[in-house]
Amino acid sequence: MRREMQFSSPAHQADTALAGMWLFLATEVMFFGGLFFIWLVYRHVHAVGFAAATQCTSLLIGATNTLILLASSLAFTLGVLAARKGDHRTLLRLSMVTAALGLVFIVLKGVEWAQDVAAHLFPGAGFGIGGTDAGGAQLFYAFYFVATGLHAVHMLVGVALVLWIAWGAQRRRFGPAWNTPVEVVGLYWSFVDLIWVVLFSLIYVSGRV
Amino acid sequence: MSATLERNYLTEQWTLRSWLLTTDHKRIALLYFASITVFFFLGGAAAALIRLHLILPQGALLSHEMYNRVFTMHGVVMVWFFLVPAVPVTLGNFIVPLMLGARDLAFPRLNLFSWYLFMAGGIVGVAALFWGGVDTGWTFYTPLATDYARGHVVMVVVGIFISGFSSIATGLNFIITIHMLRAPGLRWFRLPIFIWTIYATSIILVLATPVLAITLALLAFERIFHVGVFDPALGGDPLLFQHLFWFYSHPAVYIMILPGMGIVSEIIPAFARREIFGYKFIIWSTVAIAVIGFFVWGHHMFVAGTSLYSSIVFSLLSYAVAVPSAIKVFNWIGTLHKGSIHFDAPMLYALGFVGLFTIGGLTGLFVAALAADVHLTQTYFVVAHFHYIMVGGMVSAFFGGVHYWWPKITGRMYPEMWGRMAALLIFFGFNLTFFPQFLLGMQGMPRRYASYPPEFQVLNVLSSAGATILAAAYLLPLGYFTWSLFRGARAPANPWGATGLEWTMPSPPPTENFATTPVVTERPYAYPPPGAEPTHAP
């Protein structure tokens, strides 16, 4: 690992990289947080429409996806522990498992979206939910597509990063002396997982209980 | 000394590739200087069109539709592609590592990526504006922007969105650098004020810009798919857009002004040859401005239909945020008191800043008062208010900083007489342009109107005359700075006899900045620094 000249030691460089990722995640909190705030405002104003719309979401796919992401976070965290011990073969395997689970998530999301579009749930002309608060239901689905779409973009970036770690593991880049990239990607992946847990709670659960 | 054979960050390598793939913060700063200058003159050209058009009551130059597009272009380019980035990405990039005793920023490759993002966003945004543009104003209020506006709303918004990532990355880089790369002995309360203002600016950048990002994403989504996020006919709320937009855009104005305040806090001690007055007070007021600035956004919406009680709270908080700004003004004046004042060009700009920012800030209190704002909102009074702060304040500070650090960046002295003349001409031209606009606003002339009643013509013509002088004055530095690169006197390490680590190294600095990491033992602004008298000829 090549130490960059502005750092006084590898530990200094590692600390700085981790601090950078934590700060980046804080900006992501503001990004998704803005979205969650809008959702909460509209749910308050359009309680009826939001409740009607939630019924049309697929709890099966949503819950399955949640379990998949939680499993993937577990896998990658175990990979971080392996990296700290210098066990690059385990790190490689666990990274591939994480990436695979991430891809399954994205495929299931695509299937779910296809189902939603076929059921006329995409907002716009021809929206399928009527009733007293059709506008509220449509807003729910506007939020749904924007939020899950942005989350999917973050997932794709995450999968690419995890595959990059896998490639590095294969070339035996990481070990007890230097595994900061693994830790940094682990933070990002867990964060994207956390965002999904919040989305799952808001979209699939909160209108159903 | 054979300066032409001297090894510094400029002479290190000459190829285009070495510039476009550099990770040296100093070269990246120069890349940004070039971009920022282009955007400034683009926005300025739009301003020139506006002022030319307004010399006649019925409009002299443009159709009404075109006028709307021109003032939108002026706002979008000046806000997002000039004011928000300007000081942090140019002077910040160059000077922050030097002031900290560091060899580079924490994430040099991210820094280069920031520049490419900025260029991508700027090119997309400006291309959209030239391709026919947008007529919504830089504020993109709904439902005009989402439903009714013709033009390239989505494309402009995409350009701003991309450049927002550049902002976030830059802010992140500065925050981590200031935390992690300070030289030994550089405690937080030994840092120059410029570092503190860049830090506060960066905090706002990373926290506020993501909210703009999601707002613009929803705006684009609504415009493309005709959903009803902000459309009342479909269950949405247009006021929600304004809340979200101003939640970013008010802190954004502190992003624009805080670095300027930092520059002034460096210049005044140097040219009054005195320690800054109230160092800690200036720091705490910087932090206070950054924090309170997040809680005043509602003052842009006093007549939008929000509740009276929330407006009262926002009005009160807007008064509160003026207090730390005033504290800084008192501290700068306190630094001048009993100082040995030298009226070099940087000092002229700094003094201009203090006066013009004070006027702009005081007039902010006029519009923060609810009853007065009902009369003044959406008139030229508001336009004059924010131009006094942004142009009279921020642009003056930027020019002052460029003149102050020019010897360090280029290794050349600019011609001082020309510098002083340009500063005075800018001050005069600026006031002639914008003071009449206060009067126009009080008399009721609305902003963003392509035509006006004939009784407003005299003041409009005065304003346009001032704009002509201001435009010429802004071109002067372009001329003499370029001249100085070829014919200017060679600059010594510390031409101003100033304190700060950046003045302890050669002008221009070597690529790696410090051969050995310095250790700092002195308090900041310990004037006069030992063995450093001003070496330039006044």
Q: Domain extents for chain A?
A: 18-205
Q: Any idea what the CATH number is for the domain that residue B412 is in?
A: 1.20.210.10
Separation in Å, CA of B149 to nearest CA in chain A: 19
Residue B55 has pLDDT above 80, yes or no: yes
pLDDT tens profile A69-85:
999 999 999 999 999 99
List CB contacts (< 8 A) between B229 and chain A. Answer: 38, 139, 142-143
Separation in Å, CA of A167 to nearest CA in chain B: 21
Candidates A23, A146, A150; nearest CB to B176: A23
Nearest to B27 by CA among B127, B104, B139: B104
Nearest to B146 by CA among B242, B245, B223: B223
Structure tokens at B404: 């102050």
- What is the Cα–Cα distance from B360 to B362, expressed in whole angstroms? 6
Q: What range does the domain containing B342 cover?
A: 23-504
Tell me if B168 and A23 make a contact (CB, 8 A cut-off): no
Residue B376 lies in a domain: yes
List CB contacts (< 8 A) between A46 and chain B. Answer: 235
**Residue B521: exposure state from Cβ atoms within 10 A (0-12, 13-18, ≥19):** exposed
Q: What's the whole-number mean pLDDT along residues B119-129?
A: 95
Candidates A4, A28, A136; nearest CB to B235: A136
Candidates B172, B209, B237; nearest CB to A23: B172
Residue B91 lies in a domain: yes
Tell me if B172 and A24 make a contact (CB, 8 A cut-off): yes
Separation in Å, CA of A142 to nearest CA in chain B: 7
Interface of A with B (CB under 8 A): 4-8, 12, 15-16, 19-20, 23-24, 26-28, 30-32, 34-35, 38, 41, 45-46, 49, 122-125, 133-136, 138-139, 142-143, 146, 150
Tell me if A135 and B236 make a contact (CB, 8 A cut-off): yes
Q: Quick one: closest CA in A to B244, which residue?
A: A34
- What is the Cα–Cα distance from B529 to B60, expressed in whole angstroms? 56
Do A54 and A140 meet the contact criterion of CB atoms below 8 Å apart? yes
pLDDT tens profile B388-406:
999 999 999 999 999 999 9
Angle, nearest 10°, between helix axes B238-272 and B193-225? 160
- What is the Cα–Cα distance from B104 to B86, expressed in whole angstroms? 19
Separation in Å, CA of B241 to nearest CA in chain A: 10
- What is the Cα–Cα distance from B146 to A56, expressed in whole angstroms? 28
Question: In this predicted structure, what is the pLDDT of residue B424?
Answer: 97
Confidence of residue A147 (pLDDT cuts 50, 70, 90): very high
Do A185 and A161 meet the contact criterion of CB atoms below 8 Å apart? yes
- What is the Cα–Cα distance from B212 to B227, expressed in whole angstroms? 19
3-state secondary structure B42-63: HHHHHHHHHHHHCCCCCCCCCC
Q: What are the residues whose beta carbons fall under 8 Å from the beta carbon of B489, sequence distance 6 or more?
A: B412, B413, B536
In the block, residue with structure tokens 């930092």: B262
Do B413 and B487 meet the contact criterion of CB atoms below 8 Å apart? no
Confidence of residue B536 (pLDDT cuts 50, 70, 90): low
- What is the ipTM for the molecules in this complex? 0.91
Tell me if A23 and B175 make a contact (CB, 8 A cut-off): yes
List CB contacts (< 8 A) between A45 and chain B. Answer: 237
Q: What's the whole-number mean pLDDT along residues A147-164?
A: 97
Tell me if B234 and A135 make a contact (CB, 8 A cut-off): yes
Residue B1 lies in a domain: no
Do B9 and B510 meet the contact criterion of CB atoms below 8 Å apart? yes
Structure tokens at A124: 């716009």
- CATH 1.20.120.80 describes domain A18-205: yes
Q: CA angle, B452 as apex, B449 and B458 as ends, to 5°?
A: 125
Question: In this predicted structure, what is the pLDDT of residue B532?
Answer: 63
Q: Where are the alpha helices (DSSP H) in chain A?
A: 10-45, 47-55, 59-85, 88-118, 134-170, 180-200
Residue B358 lies in a domain: yes
Task: Calculate Rg over the CA atoms of chain B.
Answer: 23
Separation in Å, CA of B172 to nearest CA in chain A: 7
pLDDT tens profile B137-163:
999 999 899 888 888 999 999 999 999
Nearest to B537 by CA among B482, B492, B479: B492
- What is the Cα–Cα distance from A86 to A179, expressed in whole angstroms? 9
Instruction: Kindly list the distances between the CA atom of residue B494 and the CA atoms of A189, B70, B177, B366, B399, in Å, as whole numbers in the listed order.
Output: 48, 44, 25, 43, 19
List CB contacts (< 8 A) between B226 and chain A. Answer: 124-125
Q: What's the whole-number mean pLDDT along residues B281-306?
A: 96
- What is the Cα–Cα distance from B214 to A153, expressed in whole angstroms? 14
Question: In this predicted structure, what is the pLDDT of residue B2?
Answer: 45
Q: Quick one: closest CA in A to B237, which residue?
A: A42
Structure tokens at B121: 């966003």
Domains: count for chain B: 1
The per-residue DSSP string of B89-107 comes to IIIIHHHHHHHHT-SS-S-
Do A98 and A76 meet the contact criterion of CB atoms below 8 Å apart? yes
Instruction: Kindly list the distances between the CA atom of residue A154 and the CA atoms of A40, A185, B269, in Å, as whole numbers in the listed order.
Output: 22, 12, 47
Q: Quick one: closest CA in A to B100, which residue?
A: A6
Q: Does B109 touch chain A (CB under 8 A)?
A: no
Tell me if B218 and A49 make a contact (CB, 8 A cut-off): no
Residue B516 lies in a domain: no
pLDDT tens profile B354-390:
999 999 999 999 999 999 999 999 999 999 999 999 9
Q: What's the whole-number mean pLDDT along residues A129-154?
A: 90
Residue B21 has pLDDT above 90, yes or no: yes
Structure tokens at A156: 């794709």
Q: Does B215 touch chain A (CB under 8 A)?
A: yes
Do B34 and B89 meet the contact criterion of CB atoms below 8 Å apart? no
